[in-house]
Amino acid sequence: MAERPEDLNLPNAVITRIIKEALPDGVNISKEARSAISRAASVFVLYATSCANNFAMKGKRKTLNASDVLSAMEEMEFQRFVAPLKEALEAYRREQRGKKEASEQKKKDKDRKTDSEEQDKSREEDNDEEQS
């Protein structure tokens, strides 16, 4: 499936917001600068992916994983990103565990509910039998 050129771009609104939050208040960012940063970000993704892929291949794996991305950052001389990325990874994993536990809990509750409903039902049937 061929990607259209627009698909390789990142949404302007989000990029703009990230830039604004990083710079001091009141700094004006020209449209050209914004567009340039957006393009740079896409190139960064490509570069990071290619680099991470090399690490995956070295590890004889076909799937890129988190450690490949972290290794890529070091390789690309963005060591400063490694610590915040590790934090983000931890937060993501916690969140995933939380979601999993929540859905497992829901399932338990559902099973418990179904069991008690069945118990009520059989009690009613017993009552009916007694009456007839």
Which CB sits closer to other proteins, 40 or 116?
Answer: 40
- Among the residue ranges 6-14, 102-110, 115-123, 124-132, the one whose residues contact other proteins (CB under 8 A): 6-14
Q: Kindly report the number of other CB atoms within 10 A of residue 11's CB atom.
A: 9
Spatial separation of the C-alpha atoms in residues 89 and 49, rounded to whole Å: 17
What residues contact residue 10 under an 8 Å CB cut-off, 6+ apart? Answer: 38, 41, 42
Spatial separation of the C-alpha atoms in residues 122 and 11, rounded to whole Å: 58
Which CB sits closer to other proteins, 105 or 119?
Answer: 105
| Contact with other proteins (CB under 8 A) among 57, 58, 101, 120 | 57
Which CB sits closer to other proteins, 94 or 113?
Answer: 94
Q: Is 10 an interacting residue with respect to other proteins (CB under 8 A)?
A: yes
Spatial separation of the C-alpha atoms in residues 46 and 82, rounded to whole Å: 18
Please report how close the Cβ of residue 17 comes to other proteins at its closest, in angstroms: 7
Spatial separation of the C-alpha atoms in residues 82 and 79, rounded to whole Å: 5
Which CB sits closer to other proteins, 46 or 123?
Answer: 46
Spatial separation of the C-alpha atoms in residues 34 and 37, rounded to whole Å: 5
Q: Which spans of this chain sit near other proteins (rule: CB under 8 A)?
A: 3, 7-11, 14-15, 17-19, 21-23, 26-30, 32-33, 36-37, 39-50, 52-53, 57, 62-66, 68-70, 73, 76-78, 80-81, 84-85, 88-89, 91-93, 95
